[in-house]
Amino acid sequence: MFARYRKSSGAQPVKPVESVPQRPAPKKPEPERNASVRPKANVAVPAKAEPTDRAQQRKQRLNAVKAELHKRLLENLNLSALERASEAELRAEITTISAEALAEMDVVLNSEERSILNTELYFEVMGLGPLEPLLQDDTVNDILVNGPKQIFVERAGKLELTDVTFRDERHLLRIIDKIVSAVGRRVDESNPYVDARLADGSRFNAMVPPVAVDGSLVSIRKFKKDKLGIADLVKYGAFTEEMALYLEAAVSTRLNIIVSGGTGSGKTTTLNALSSFIGNEERVLTIEDTAELQLQQVHVGRMESRPANMEGRGAVTQRDCLRNALRMRPDRIIVGETRGEEVIDMLQAMNTGHDGSMTTIHANSARDGISRLENMVAMAGIDMPLRAVRSQIGSAVNVIVQVSRLQDGSRRMMSVTEITGMEGDIITMQEIFRFERTGLEPDGTIVGHFTGTGLRSAFSDRFKRWGYELPSTIYDEVVGRR
């Protein structure tokens, strides 16, 4: 029925893989002939094999069987025809070829082992091998590979070591090459690192030997199909309803906002949530290194930077995208992450009529975020006095939202800070909300609450002019407890 998916030439005979042997029944001990003859006390008695050792040996043999079956599949299957086959047809064909090969190799497996083996073979042919089940697991946020035998995942902010492994470094490199070649990129000794995006939008990064000393390093930030909205983040305790009211007013009245935080702190999630307050009548342009933002507005133009090709040509930087975006009549510009010389164009856009723009940066606090912007301007090679740089930042940025991932894995909006102007050479700021830690539960859960600082927003009059009458109580010293 599925012969049309096989190569016409057929597979070459392959030496059979050692089958999974059955353990021989232990021999009964012979009766003792002379009770007076006893073994010496210091003679070591062989220890019984642990069940885990037997399971490990069986797993290794099954891996050898799987490697041989995968080799036979590649020899038998017509991959160009498989592109038009349905998943059900392909799975049936793999099951057929697998059954024939197992019979030829004289390997006996139970029904559960056959089902697992056929699923893994399908992932090897059409997916990303051992990584595929982790990609399909909705509880996994990040996949981190440290060589072929050590794969971690992050669930609910905590790292866990999985029992998933690759056969060897060659197997891992084959999967890496499969990912990067699909997007027209390459990774090898001369170009040992790569950024890419998977078909589902997940962010992929890899470094291979010799830069990766103990085996290839892979990190995958999974793409969230169902993005979290403001209500979801309030429900999960990332911030309070009162803070959400303030943020809605800040976005709707077109304040320029920077979301600051460390790696994995929830910057992109927060930026996605804030963008929900943008109206459908506005034209929004997004610029990212790897497209992750999921804006729901009607009028959204998405841009993604591109690295140079193998000849070192064809690179398109975020700065190139940003410069072109300024010619596309944007109402707002959203940069996924500002990390280099594009900061110059971003600040100029914020200062020249593109109010309501947003971006993220890596920083540990609002004040550190300002310093990071200053450093990026300096690294861009712009010869400007420090006071002029700070004046540019002070007039461009209105609000800094600081997010963090805490020790218990939870993500919180640690502070909301407004930039109010300049005093001499110093940028002046005032904190409106903060998260205060008060203790630690025995299970490691962090106890704390969100609080207002009691300071009235410097943009209160602006909010009123735009029709946002925020109650003064949202700035009270206790606005909610989590």
Same domain, 359 and 400: yes
Tell me if 15 is assigned to some domain.
no
Residues 315 and 344 in one domain: yes
Contact 308, 185 (CB under 8 A): no
Inside any domain, residue 33: no
Question: What is the rounded distance in angstroms from the CA atom of residue 325 to the CA atom of residue 287?
Answer: 9
Q: Is the peptide bond before 210 cis (omega within 30 degrees of 0)?
A: yes
Judge if 171 and 92 occupy the same domain: no
Is 37 a member of any domain?
Answer: no
- Which among 178, 194, 223 is the end of a domain? 223
Specify if 452 maps to a domain. Answer: yes
**Which residues contact residue 400 at a Cβ distance below 8 angstroms, ignoring those fewer than 6 apart?**
257, 258, 259, 260, 366, 369, 370, 416, 417, 418, 419, 429
Q: Are 463 and 469 in contact (CB under 8 A)?
A: yes
Residues 310 and 360 in one domain: yes
Same domain, 144 and 242: no
DSSP state for residue 355 in the 8-state scheme = T
Of 101, 126, 151, which one is at a domain's C-terminal end? 126
Distance (Å) of CA 404 to CA 248, 294, 436, 475:
20, 21, 13, 22
For the chain, what percentages of helix, strand and coil (3-state, to nearest 5) are there?
35, 20, 45
Do 193 and 272 sit in the same domain of this protein? no
User: 408 with 298, same domain?
Assistant: yes
Q: What distance in Å separates the CA atoms of residue 437 and residue 448, rounded to the nearest whole number? A: 4
- On whether residue 13 sits in a domain, the answer given is no
CATH of residue 340: 3.40.50.300
Specify the pLDDT at position 130: 87
Residues 341 and 463 in one domain: yes
Residues 465 and 404 in one domain: yes
Domain count, the chain: 3
Reading the chain (482 residues) residue by residue, the pLDDT tens digits are 444 555 554 444 444 444 444 445 455 455 444 444 444 444 444 444 444 577 677 667 777 777 777 666 666 665 555 566 677 777 787 788 778 777 777 777 777 777 877 787 778 777 788 898 898 888 999 999 999 999 999 988 889 999 888 888 988 998 898 888 877 778 888 889 888 888 888 889 999 999 999 999 999 998 877 778 899 999 989 999 999 999 999 999 999 999 999 988 889 899 999 999 999 999 999 998 877 888 888 899 999 888 777 777 888 988 899 889 989 999 999 998 888 888 988 888 888 778 999 999 999 999 999 999 999 998 887 788 889 999 999 999 999 999 999 988 889 999 999 999 999 889 999 999 999 999 888 888 899 999 999 999 999 999 999 999 999 889 886 544 44
Q: What angle do CA 155, 153, 259 make, to 5 degrees?
A: 65
**Residue 389 domain boundaries:** 230-481
431 beta partners: 417
* pLDDT at res. 20: 45
pLDDT of amino acid 264: 84
Among 186, 206, 223, the domain boundary falls at 223
Q: Residue 172 sits in a domain of what CATH number?
A: 3.30.450.370
3-class DSSP assignment, residue 248 = helix
Q: Is residue 18 part of a domain?
A: no
pTM here?
0.74
The verdict on residue 22 lying in a domain is no
The answer to whether residue 328 sits within a structural domain is yes
For residue 349, how many C-alpha atoms fall within 13 Å in the half-sphere facing its CB?
A: 29
Reference 140, options 261, 201, 229, 221; nearest CA is 221
Whether 118 and 243 map to the same domain: the answer is no
Q: 288 and 433 share a domain?
A: yes
Whether residue 319 sits in one domain with residue 237: yes
According to the model, what pLDDT value does residue 465 have? 94
